[in-house]
Amino acid sequence: MQVISSKDNEFIKHIKKLKDKKYRDLNNEYIIEGIKIIEEAINEKANIKQVVICDDCEKTSNIPKELMYEIAKQECVYVTSKLFESLTDVTNPQGILAVVEKNTVKSQMAGNEEQEIDYNQDIIVALDDIQDPGNLGTILRTVDSIGINQILVSKGTADSYNPKVVRSTMGAIFRVKIIECEDLENTLKEIKKHKFEIVVTSLQTKNSIYDIDYKRKVIVIGNEANGVEEKIQKMADKKVKIPMLGKTESLNASVATGIILYEYVRQKIK
């Protein structure tokens, strides 16, 4: 078994470059790190390109034998602990990471969505320039939790494969197809042709999120600071807000998304 120890190794350079969004986009790959998320990737049959294992890290001994058996079926690369430390973004690394192919579809123009979007779902979630990686990751996890298999993200939304996003999805990144929209407004116009209504959150309405029927709806979640952009507000079929009893006027984007989506769940199971 060969153990890589040189930082000048071409594969090691490749791993380090994957920390940059442009390089991730170019190679259609990203990094996952830790025992649990690699187990999720294997269980969900994600396209794992390589598994990088720290040859002399103590915490690799915590990998269950059953999982190690599955990992051994992958292309494994072993590195020294010093080299692994130069690759990890985690404070307490577990000595294992992997390179995975993205689960992303890029929508370049109106019309392409016909082959990309699953119109059999009751609701579709669209993100309009969500900036915080933690919010994005939590939203992806929430979307997965209610059984939605896709999400639309605008061009200005944070990178879904940012390491912080990937960690906070807790494995949902493997189950939710991410559709990157070059022009979210045009994409929403196409969706409306399939008899979906556009729903946006707004403080400029008296309508509550509890007042609408969540069937064939696109829920648009806006930017943390500015909300849903005006041109999308204008094309919305319904504007709603989350009723609040306290003095706070707005909620964190991921919290608001969870409240809205679980009203859909309540209607679904009642």
Pairing mode, if any, of strands 197-201 and 76-79? unpaired
DSSP 28-96: TEEEEESHHHHHHHHHTT--EEEEEEETT-GGGGGS-HHHHHHHTTS-EEEE-HHHHHHH---SS--SE
Query: For the chain, what is the mean pLDDT?
Result: 92
pLDDT digits (tens, 9 = 90+) for 218-254: 999 999 988 999 999 999 999 999 998 898 877 899 9
170-203 burial: b if 16+ Cβ within 10 Å, else e: bbbbbbbebbbbeebeebbebbeeeebbbbbbbe
pLDDT at 59: 81
Sheet order of strands, 76-79 included: 3-4, 76-79, 48-54, 96-101, 29-33
pLDDT at 57: 82
The DSSP 8-state label assigned to residue 246 in this structure reads: S
What is the mean pLDDT of the segment spanning 145-154?
96
pLDDT at 115: 62
Is the pLDDT assigned to residue 43 strictly greater than 90? yes
What is the mean pLDDT of the segment spanning 3-18?
95
Where helices occur in 113-226 by DSSP H, the ranges are 113-116, 133-145, 163-169, 184-192
Q: List the domains of the chain with CATH numbers.
A: 3-101 (3.30.1330.30), 104-269 (3.40.1280.10)
Distance CA 197, CA 46 (A): 33
pLDDT at 126: 97
pLDDT at 113: 47
pLDDT at 248: 84
Is the pLDDT assigned to residue 28 strictly greater than 60? yes
Q: 117 Cβ partners below 8 Å, 6+ apart?
A: 124, 150, 152, 179, 191
pLDDT at 79: 95
> Partners of 106 in the beta sheet?
180
Is the pLDDT assigned to residue 27 strictly greater than 80? yes
pLDDT: is 258 or 110 the higher one? Answer: 258
Is the pLDDT assigned to residue 108 strictly greater than 80? no
pLDDT at 1: 63
User: Could you tell me the CA-to-CA distances from 129 to 65, 220, 222, 223 in Å, in that order?
Assistant: 42, 10, 7, 5
Tell me the pLDDT band of 202, cut-offs 50, 70 and 90.
Answer: confident
The DSSP 8-state label assigned to residue 125 in this structure reads: E
What is the mean pLDDT of the segment spanning 46-54?
96
CA atoms within 13 A on the CB side of 255: 5
- % of the chain residues with pLDDT over 90: 83
Tell me the pLDDT band of 110, cut-offs 50, 70 and 90.
Answer: very low
In a 3-state reduction of DSSP, which class is residue 210? helix
Residues making up the chain, counted from first to last: 270
